[in-house]
Structure 1
């Protein structure tokens, strides 16, 4: 963890956690550190498709939130450039699903992430994602930063 992440951890955490869309779905951020995030949600009855399994858009939203938190954990505004998701298994209403986003590599502007989505210990989807980091910090920096 760099100086900015250590010094401003609480401010960064508060910002990335406060995502209105994720909150509207009931997504909870369960782990957060530089380059890594874990989030979970309980599948509600209105989140399933016509076959009674969790809608792919809900799985994607959970994965995307974990990705967003992981790539913004450094305090600089990062945006998603591309994502590719593979659906492996399904989940149903009442299931608790979790997404774990891990930074694979980061350079000056881009970051590469793998997001695994689980129901219990079963891998139900994977996502690969690329982020672009802007110059702008979304937190207040001190003169020394």
Structure 2
């Protein structure tokens, strides 16, 4: 009988390798997104809104807010070293932000199984909730880290 994989153990044992992989996101880096927290099934990312990130009305473009939320989601769903990709997302924009604002996205795992993961992402400016996103990940059979025989 095949031993059940303990993904919490994988996260703890391979934290540095997993963190290095999920932090290496050229698109997020190009926007200035910084990963500020990384835990099993949880991630927090921060972005200081620049002048060029606004729409025609002078508020943060929805695509920028989405990119921040998507990055936090990506990090959270890949925390166990198993290659996971976005399957679907739904975002709701609640309040606007402006250039100079620091916005924070927090992705929290709601539930995960062998094949899918469900996440809730909240985006804040200071204490104000400015957007929410529900996301589903597809978990591939592949681990992007080198697992030991004991894992």
TM-score (norm 2): 0.93
SS of residue in 2 equivalent to 1:52: coil
In the TM superposition, residue 142 of structure 1 has moved relative to its aligned partner by 1.9
Q: Supply the distance in 2 between the matched residues of 1:143 and 1:131 (Cα, whole angstroms).
A: 26
Identify unmatched segments of 5+ residues in structure 1: none
Largest Rg, 1 or 2: 2
SS of residue in 2 equivalent to 1:66: helix
In the TM superposition, residue 114 of structure 1 has moved relative to its aligned partner by 0.3
Runs (4+) of structure 1 exceeding 3 A deviation are none
SS of residue in 1 equivalent to 2:98: coil
SS of residue in 1 equivalent to 2:71: helix
SS of residue in 2 equivalent to 1:91: coil
* TM-align CA RMSD: 0.6
Q: Supply the distance in 1 between the matched residues of 2:107 and 2:100 (Cα, whole angstroms).
A: 23
SS of residue in 1 equivalent to 2:141: strand
Deviations 1:70-121 (A, max 9, x none): 0000000001000000000000000000000000111111100000000000
Is 2:147 the partner of 1:141? Answer: yes
Q: Supply the distance in 2 between the matched residues of 1:133 and 1:108 (Cα, whole angstroms).
A: 7
Deviations 1:20-41 (A, max 9, x none): 0000000000000110000000
Question: Number of residues paired by the alignment?
Answer: 142
Q: Which residue of 1 aligns with 2:112?
A: 106
Q: Supply the distance in 2 between the matched residues of 1:43 and 1:22 (Cα, whole angstroms).
A: 13
Identify unmatched segments of 5+ residues in structure 2: 1-9
TM-score (norm 1): 0.97
Q: Which residue of 2 aligns with 1:47?
A: 53
In the TM superposition, residue 14 of structure 1 has moved relative to its aligned partner by 0.5
Q: Supply the distance in 2 between the matched residues of 1:109 and 1:40 (Cα, whole angstroms).
A: 29
SS of residue in 1 equivalent to 2:11: helix
